Chain A
Amino acid sequence: MSRSCKSLFVFALFLAPTVALAFDHYAGVGRQATPAEVKAWDIDVRPDFKGLPKGSGNVERGQELFEEKCASCHGSFGESNEVFTPLIGGTKPEDIKSGRVSGFLTGDIPQRTTFTKVATISTVWDYIYRAMPWTAPKSLKPDDVYAILAYFLNLAEIVPGDFTLSDKNIAEVQARMPNRNGMTTDHGMWPGPSAKKGGIGNGGVPDVKNVACMKNCKPEVQIGSTLPEYARTAHGELADQNRSFGPVRGTRTLGPEAAKKAADAGTLELATKSGCMACHGIKSKIVGPGYNEVVARYQGQPDAESRLVAKVKAGGQGVWGNVPMPPNAHLKDEDLTTLVKWILAGSK
């Protein structure tokens, strides 16, 4: 090998890592995805409609599908606030012209709905197709999605009642989206290059500037807000959300009475979940004895708790008649003890 050849070879080696080394580099690891596999999973639809499947659907069909598959959560008109925040509402005909939801400018917007916020119709198409209905995601066909979206658009008064939405006209509908001009990327919280460099935002410049003053930083302390009394107790017994030892204790917010009530409610839930309440009533016999009868029988016996724990665990027959109690080996010991204590204490 001549000298010049050698240096060429060395040069090529230096180049290699950036150009070719990494590609297909790991023998035995990874394989090419088949076209069918990519098609099955590559379901995203971008704002420029890349990825949008061909198809169409009209308002009428959309209403039928929506009533059948969506209305139980969203309400028949997408207005429901019961399970999720409303889809429809808060947009006005003039918003369609301006592309800005005027309620955000005037402050006259009781609740933000999907259509007050979303600027890109592709987002809604993409999301319904990939994630809806709630309990059966990815079960809708593209034509179903077009129809349901057509129904939304009609409810939001963006298209008329006889409208058919399709891959052909969706871009025209985009031009009527009420909040299409309502987004800004002029901020410093995008972790990539700035808009000036072909990316998004201002390149990471923060919008607030605090100064690390150390001494006599202000004449007085201005309290803007304190914890409302209802909020103090809305999260349960705070004493029970902290360790029982250490430098602090959880503050007792509900008092022992309410804490016991909360604990009892939890135990009743445990009893229900564990299947106890199917056969036992608190104050009445169902299949097995009522808990009041159990208490009456075991009252005053020093080993009542341990005996009952053993009985519930192993099951039994004869003490209360001929209907056998099945063994409950699946119950955790600590749950079993909690349940038995609760029963003996009157199961309130």
Chain B
Amino acid sequence: MGDIKQAGRLRPAPENFLSAEQITAVGSGRRDFLRKSFLAAGAALAAPLAARAADGDPDILNLPPWATSLGLPVATNPYGMPSKYESQLLRRESPGLTRVGGASVSFAPLQGLFGIITPSGLHFERHHQGWHDVDPAKHRLMINGSDPAFLKKPKVYTMDELMRLPSVSRIHFIECGANTGLEWGNVAVPTVQYTHGMLSCSEFTGVPLKLLLEDCGVDYKKARYVLAEGGDGSAMTRTIPMEMVESGEVFVAYGQNGEMLRPENGYPLRLVVPGVQGVSWVKWLRRIEVGDQPYATKDEAIHYIDLQPSGLHRQYTSIQECKSVITTPSGGQTLLSPGFFNVSGLAWSGRGRIKQVDVSFDGGINWKTARLEGPIQNKALTRFNVDWVWDGKPAILQSRAIDETGYVQPTYGQLRKVRGTKSIYHNNAIQSWKIVEGGEVSNVQVL
């Protein structure tokens, strides 16, 4: 607790007169900033400080530079960036997880995000053979059939053409099938960024794939499977059932959170397959093939297969089942002091809408239903919040989501009983955060 700075709290102790930043400034010998602000307040440097502290919060009593000087003009930053005070929240890699940056993962900093939309610059990354900034003028989408009988006319679309077509905008979560995969056997990583950070949620804009397939004259009776293929080096491929396409849910997206997709997320075109693991949301999408059987591609026959205790691998596991996690407070954080907290987290289900989220503060003995922030959307993140007064004693926080099918997020014990510990993929167990006296939160697994 010794390192925690409680700037802004009103305390009589004179050392708290200076803000954390000012203390650092003094420590480093950089007194010019202080001198300026105090001279402006008409005060001499040292003596009056203690006297003034009794009057109130110096951050109120001494007007800050931003209240007493001219600010910057418009368009100083033509593309706006987060405040310099937000530099801690970044996509980060988990050391030792992978050995090649081009076939790796960076995790989204869920511990510091609000609501349900992931800022595009913090969207998690998973590349299979590195990423490129693809020239949209040279990008094409081809649609063909594994057999000429499945499609009347194979076609090619440019971005110009795709962006003329009727569009939809929908908010969906995307979660890597291997999210929380490090934790199947035991606790392995310290924070929610690394346990659950292969999860993001955006508003995507694009054209329903159904519309394109019908424009090519697809024969739905014969073509029951769809292959999606990327335009990058890995030319990544995945099989999707035609039923999902026919439902209108699957779309080719170019927009993300109001602007174009980011290069790391598939610029200029990616597939959106709501509720299905991220690997099927093929980035830099160059080709769609309709066929009459699944394709057993590398990422559905060598990777993204789930080893079961029987020694068999489950193949074509695609749906991300109902899951939730508390993001504040979470592992690697320390609570400032006992008292009131808004406990907040995320819930989602690949099978539809979230119906309910319950939160436990005693490791799952008793539960309290959390508030869901609406509108609650289909296959999108749902933010939940619940009031809590921490009494300063040890606690174990958990969240448990229920989706509209009635499915209740399972415990580690329940999951392992069926799937063992070597599955890697599709770990949707209830996450537990243990809080000790002193406020440090750490990752534990409750069976």
Contact = CB atoms under 8 A, between A and B. Distances in A.
Interface of A: 22-26, 28-33, 37-38, 41-44, 46-48, 50-51, 82-84, 100-101, 104-105, 112, 114, 117-120, 122-124, 126-127, 130-131, 134, 137-138, 182-193, 198-201, 204, 206-218, 220-228, 231-232, 234-236, 238-245, 247-253, 302, 334
Given A123-B302, A131-B234, 19 more contacts: A23-B217, A30-B161, A33-B144, A46-B295, A47-B295, A119-B315, A123-B296, A182-B313, A186-B314, A191-B275, A200-B316, A207-B418, A212-B356, A218-B365, A220-B365, A222-B447, A228-B187, A235-B190, A242-B333
Interface string B17-32: 0001000000000001
B4 interface: yes
B1 to A, nearest CB: 9
A193 B94 CA distance: 37
Given A50-B146, A217-B365, A224 B447 contact: yes
Contact of A245 (B7, B128, B302, B334): B7
What 3 A-B pairs have minimum CB-CB distances, sorted nearest first? Answer: A192-B241, A22-B214, A221-B363
Contacts of B376: none
A42 B229 CA distance: 9
Contact of A29 (B129, B165, B302): B165
B307 A104 contact: yes
A184 B244 CA distance: 22
B86 A184 contact: no
Of listed A120, A212, A226, A251, residue having the most chain B CB within 10 A? A251
B293 interface: yes
B415 interface: yes
A276 to B, nearest CB: 22
Contacts of A214: 358, 366-367, 369
B336 A223 contact: no
B402 interface: yes
Contact of A241 (B129, B193, B276, B444): B193
A223 B186 CA distance: 11
A247 B321 contact: no
Given A42-B144, A204-B319, A112 B307 contact: yes
13 contacts: A23-B215, A38-B142, A199-B241, A206-B407, A207-B418, A212-B367, A214-B366, A223-B434, A242-B111, A247-B328, A248-B441, A251-B441, A334-B84
A231 B333 contact: no
Nearest to B177: A189
Nearest to B432: A223
Contact of B156 (A37, A48, A130): A37
B434 A31 contact: no
B85 interface: yes
A127 to B, nearest CB: 4
A101 B305 CA distance: 15
B260 interface: no
A241 B388 CA distance: 24
Contact of A251 (B240, B333, B341, B446): B333
B58 interface: no
Contacts of B215: 22-26, 29-30
Contact of A212 (B85, B402, B443): B402
A37 B289 contact: no
B259 interface: no
B203 interface: no
A251 B433 CA distance: 14
Given A38-B154, A218-B365, A247 B335 contact: yes
A30 B156 contact: yes
A33 B140 CA distance: 11
Given A119-B296, A191-B241, A218-B365, A26 B316 contact: no
Nearest to B295: A46
Contact of A31 (B155, B308, B312): B155
B302 A192 contact: no
B296 to A, nearest CB: 5
